[in-house]
């Protein structure tokens, strides 16, 4: 650490110690002033956040960590910055909100230092130091924001998947899953979990997967279908596939996909009829021995 930096650090520590309230107030005020920072946070929340951040900043600066590593290496400070970002991400704030919040903090800090000295050189060093510390905060908050938004998107996608793959009870011991859209890995996961859970709770004997709404069946889709069928069979229920349209049937034949071990029907009602008949004469579900 150079003499200038040590000096600046000293000033900054002093400013935070003596003017902690001021810094927090000022920061909240600056954020409110710039409406772009509105993230559905109340003033009370902003204030609470500010207090925590100021405290952690103070704690960090008093220690030995180098300024540019402070935000990433100091656990408390890092956590405070991450939470600041996640709070805004979850509140649906614009991406710039976190960055602008950090910039406003810089301003508030510099103003606090000015309360303690008006020496140009000192102020300049202090400004440099504040930049060094908070630039890392800006970077971290941005990364966290992005991850936070992506997590929300993932969760919403999953929820959408669940809503769009309902399991319906068509008959006593007969469940049906009408699939709409393509059967990719994530949808297969949702279908399997929902369907198998429903089998367990309704003690179903036959399940019908209707693929009328599935636009194309290629080897990947067929693989996912087979996985679902196998899982259902392991549980002890039967799995029929209905809604195979003529072009789909042709594609399946052309691709050489072997669905001969599965009961298939053109329509859901045909499959339901087969299911009811099957239930009337109980046979066990035996997994065919795999051909070598």
Partner 1 sequence: MRPGDDPSPGLVAVEDHHPQTAAVEDHHPQAAATRLGPTHSGQAAETAGGSASRHPIRSEEHLLTARHAVRAATLDVGFTLVDQTRVVTAASELVRNAYIHGGGGTLTIEVVRRADVRGLRLTVTDHGPGISDLDAAFTDGYTTGPGLGHGLGGARRLMDDFRIHTAEGHGTTVVATRWTTPP
Partner 2 sequence: MSDPANSGVPILRLGDVLVTGLLDELDDKAAMAFTEELTQRIVADRATGVLIDISRLELVDSFVARILMELATTTRLLGARVIVAGMRPAVAITLVELGLGLPGVATAVNAEQGMAVLGWQRHPGSQAAGREAAHAPWR
By CB under 8 A, name the binding residues for partner 1.
82, 86, 143-144, 147-148, 151, 154, 184-185, 188, 193, 219-220, 223-224, 227, 290, 292
- Residues whose CB falls within 8 Å of the CB of residue 113, separated by 6 or more in sequence, listed in order: 11, 12, 15, 122, 123, 126, 130
Provide the 8-state DSSP code for 4: H
Distance CA 142, CA 111 (A): 24
- Smallest distance from partner 2 to CB 192, Å: 5
Helix (H) or strand (E) holding 265, with range, is strand 264-265
Q: Which is nearer to partner 1, 120 or 291 (CB)?
A: 291
- Smallest distance from partner 1 to CB 19, Å: 33
- Smallest distance from partner 1 to CB 186, Å: 8
Indicate the pairing of strand 238-242 with strand 168-171: unpaired
- Smallest distance from partner 1 to CB 81, Å: 13
- Smallest distance from partner 2 to CB 227, Å: 5
Q: Which is nearer to partner 1, 14 or 91 (CB)?
A: 91
Q: CB atoms < 10 A from the CB of 67, how many?
A: 22
Q: Which is nearer to partner 1, 142 or 171 (CB)?
A: 142
Residues recorded for the chain: 292
Q: Which is nearer to partner 1, 119 or 193 (CB)?
A: 193
Distance CA 247, CA 1 (A): 73
Is the distance from CB of 216 to CB of 184 less than 8 angstroms?
no
Is the distance from CB of 102 to CB of 2 less than 8 angstroms?
no
N- to C-terminal Cα distance for the chain? 71
Q: Which is nearer to partner 2, 11 or 233 (CB)?
A: 233
- Smallest distance from partner 2 to CB 59, Å: 45
User: Which residues here bind partner 2, judged by CB under 8 A?
Assistant: 192-193, 196-197, 199-200, 203-205, 227, 230-237, 265, 270, 273-274, 276-277, 280-290
Q: Minimal CA–CA distance to 145: which of 92, 79, 85?
A: 85
Question: Which one of partner 1, partner 2, none is in contact with 220 (Cβ closer than 5 to 8 A by kind)?
Answer: partner 1
Q: Which is nearer to partner 1, 33 or 218 (CB)?
A: 218
Question: Which one of partner 2, partner 1, none is in contact with 230 (Cβ closer than 5 to 8 A by kind)?
Answer: partner 2
């Amino acid at each position: 650490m150079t003499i200038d930096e040590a000096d600046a650090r000293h000033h900054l520590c002093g400013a935070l110690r003596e003017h902690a309230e001021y810094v927090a107030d000022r920061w909240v005020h600056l954020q409110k002033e710039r409406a772009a920072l509105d993230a559905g946070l109340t003033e009370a929340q902003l204030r609470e956040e500010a207090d925590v951040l100021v405290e952690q900043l103070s704690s960090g600066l008093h220690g030995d960590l180098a300024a540019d590593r402070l935000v990433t290496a100091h656990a408390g400070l890092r956590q405070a910055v991450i939470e600041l970002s996640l709070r805004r991400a979850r509140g649906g704030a614009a991406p710039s909100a976190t960055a602008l919040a950090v910039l406003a903090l810089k301003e508030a800090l510099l103003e606090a230092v000015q309360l303690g000295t008006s020496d140009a050189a000192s102020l300049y060093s202090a400004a440099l130091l504040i930049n060094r510390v908070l630039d890392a905060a800006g970077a971290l908050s941005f990364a966290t924001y992005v991850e936070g938004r992506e997590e929300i998107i993932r969760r919403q996608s999953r929820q959408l998947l669940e809503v769009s793959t309902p399991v319906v009870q068509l008959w006593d011991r007969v469940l049906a899953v009408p699939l709409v859209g393509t059967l990719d890995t994530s949808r297969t996961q949702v279908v399997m979990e929902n369907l198998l859970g429903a089998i367990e709770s309704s003690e179903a004997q036959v399940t019908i997967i209707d693929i009328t709404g599935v636009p194309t069946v290629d080897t990947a889709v067929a693989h996912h279908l087979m996985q679902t069928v196998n899982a259902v069979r392991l549980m002890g229920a039967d799995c029929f596939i209905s809604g195979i349209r003529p072009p789909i049937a042709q594609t399946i034949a052309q691709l050489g996909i072997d669905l001969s071990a599965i009961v298939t029907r053109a329509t859901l009602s045909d499959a339901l009829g087969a299911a009811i008949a099957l239930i009337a004469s109980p046979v066990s579900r035996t997994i065919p021995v795999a051909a070598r």
